[in-house]
Amino acid sequence: TYWKSIFTLPVQPGKKYHMSYADQERYENEERPEVQRQILAEIARKLPVYTRTGNGGIRFCDRCQLIKPDRCHHCSVCAICVLKMDHHCPWVNNCIGFSNYKFFLLFLAYALLYCLYIAATVFKYFIKYWTGELTNGRSKFHVLFLLFVAVMFFVSLMFLFGYHCWLVSRNRSTLEAFSAPVFQNGPDKNGFNLGFVKNLQQVFGEEKKLWLLPIASSQGDGHFFPMRALCEAQNPLLANEEQWEDDGIDEEPHGKEISCVLAYSD
């Protein structure tokens, strides 16, 4: 189950995010960009999407023909939109996203411990080689090669695992670390940061006994994520009504309320 979860294709956005045939035809037949933006805004009004493109438009995937959920991105290698996409990993030949991010972190942790175990068990034979007690030439090569590979992978994995632990503590993906998500009030690299404990719970779940086990326990369904800042309607200092009324976007989208969480701890 663990290997199946990390190697199978990640879950794609639900059907309600896909553009209907009629809307797709209306969108493609329209040549005016401003009208296309209005069409996307009308469709997105019924969906819980709160992040925007750099110019304030609705995030839309031309290849998958769908409104992108928050933190969703299109992978050019897998040719699909991936929920909460982190990166495409060549080591597992798969996209790392919402459905397998916990398994990817455990994969790094397990590999790190395994490399440490190999280095520790081989080190005593390396000492024998160094002191001249190991006389077999073939054994010398095996000991040196195994120790070198184990240490090399341990150092590499230590930096990679440490970086992803930092990302989890800030509730960011690798893509969001390089390019901050854009909300209605502008870019905010800490837009999804709920505080250290809640950030961990989003990835590993609330039951601590399941954190180190390869069992799916991440919170949510990958389509909607709580946000740290006050929503536009509740904080007039962040409101920018004129800009979004021009795009045909209501102050509070229908269908689902914004989950606003106050957690300003860095």
Assigned token pair, 143: 């000991």
Assigned token pair, 150: 């184990």
Residues taking part in catalysis: 89
Which among 111, 146, 108 has a CA at the least distance from the CA of 125? 146
Assigned token pair, 167: 């990302």
Q: Which residue blocks in 132-249 are alpha helix, DSSP H?
A: 137-170, 174-178, 196-204, 241-246
CB atoms within 10 A of CB 159: 9
Q: Is 72 left (phi over 0), alpha (psi -120 to 50) or beta?
A: beta
- Partners of 186 in the β-ladder: 183
**φ and ψ of 180, to 5 deg:** -65, 140
Determine which helix (DSSP H) or strand (DSSP E) holds 186, and give its type and residue range: strand 186-187
**CA 71 vs CA 43, 68, 124: distances in Å:** 18, 8, 48
Asked if residue 86 lies in contact with residue 27, where contact means CB atoms within 8 angstroms, the answer is: no
Determine which helix (DSSP H) or strand (DSSP E) holds 115, and give its type and residue range: helix 101-131
Contacts of 12 (CB under 8 A, 6+ apart): 64, 80, 81, 82, 83
Asked if residue 213 lies in contact with residue 182, where contact means CB atoms within 8 angstroms, the answer is: no
